[in-house]
Amino acid sequence: MPVPNIAGQVMTVTGAMDPGDLGVTLMHEHIFSDFAKLSSPNYDPTANSSRGGEQLTLETLHLAREGKISAGLMTEEDVAIAEVLEYRTWGGNTIVDVTPIGLMRDTVTLRRISYVTGVHVIMGAAYFARVFPENIERLSVEELTDSIIEDVTVGIDGSGIRAGIIGEVGIEGDPISPSEVKIIKAAARASKATGAAISFHRGGVDREKLDVLRTVAEEGGDLSRVVMGHADFIAGDVPLLKEIFELGVYIEFDFLGNIGVPLAWQPGQEKVRPFSPADSAMVARTILELVEAGYEDRILLSHDVGGKLRLKRYGGMGYSFLLEKFLPHLRVGGVQEGQIHKFMVENPRKVLTFVAPS
């Protein structure tokens, strides 16, 4: 299949665009998605949106924060428009919706939201090994690669709307499964073939990230085109962050503004469980350290709004936490305006601009 060369451009849901028009960009969000599938393998998205039939209200919010009722389904268009408009009010221009294949990507609605709000939307294309496709064991790396290439070069689900990034690639690790190895290879090959960048969900636990990146390189992937997401989990491990940076990738702190009750924390557990605003403060401290060490050209920030609880209308911080609350906090900490411009504008622009297929 001939691959079009859109080197030097970015691909949004409304078509190819000059990267200079991206402006302030959130690199890792979800506007429409169904992440309830992740918490419950038998979950039926066509049935009631919450397990046990309980609807999400202010009165049941505490149950949803504990995971006792599901809030993973994001399908309300009016709510999405209001939340995206709020981001725009705070100065936002572009949102990258990295919802993986099979978790309810909604091409046409996303394009409508982009037209209505004036915010550019870029869609992702990648697999999340644990949930989709169900028959991943039987699919070859070639088949997985071809379907990603089709999303990037032809369009998603026959809509003609093309993905602008390969992500989020659903690697959880601990340990990395054979299916996960397949989707890492497929992402690397599709990146090489199309010139699109790769955005990883977590990309393995701790040092597994280095193995994941090694696999990308072995498959011909360009590590300078790779984003390691959900780095908030290792925000307390600056030596590891530096080791990953030294491979030439971007590191993305993308759970910022996540509110919740950190019930998952266990005494003696030294790793960050980024489920409280205090953890955003810890990420801020780490960013100061990384800027000091000279890594400002490869830091990315986002919220990973990935369920109703993250939306302002359901008690969350929405898509504007960074612009509204976090960046002012970084400024107080001593981060310069030019550095913030890199995190929010220049670094996303470099990642999202296609290079020539090879």
> Which residues of this chain interact with Zn ion, rule CB under 5 A?
168, 201
Compare residues 104 and 193 and give the one whose CB is closer to Zn ion: 104
SS3 178: helix
Compare residues 121 and 335 and give the one whose CB is closer to Zn ion: 121
Encoding tokens for residue 65? Answer: 């924060």
Locus of tokens 């107080």? 332
Q: How far is the CB of 185 from Zn ion (least distance, A)?
A: 19
Q: How far is the CB of 331 from Zn ion (least distance, A)?
A: 28
Q: How far is the CB of 172 from Zn ion (least distance, A)?
A: 9
Which of 125, 351, 96, 29 lies closest to 222, judged by CA? 351
Which of 209, 233, 254 lies closest to 348, judged by CA? 254
Q: How far is the CB of 109 from Zn ion (least distance, A)?
A: 21
Compare residues 203 and 221 and give the one whose CB is closer to Zn ion: 203
Strand 73-74 with 15-17, pairing: unpaired
Encoding tokens for residue 68? Answer: 């006792």
Encoding tokens for residue 218? Answer: 């072995």
Q: How far is the CB of 241 from Zn ion (least distance, A)?
A: 18
The kind and range of the H/E element at 97 are strand 94-97
Residue 166: which region, alpha, beta or left (left: phi > 0; alpha: psi -120 to 50)? Answer: beta
Report the residue closest to Zn ion, judged by CB: 201
Compare residues 29 and 168 and give the one whose CB is closer to Zn ion: 168
Contact 311, 317 (CB under 8 A): no
Compare residues 6 and 103 and give the one whose CB is closer to Zn ion: 103
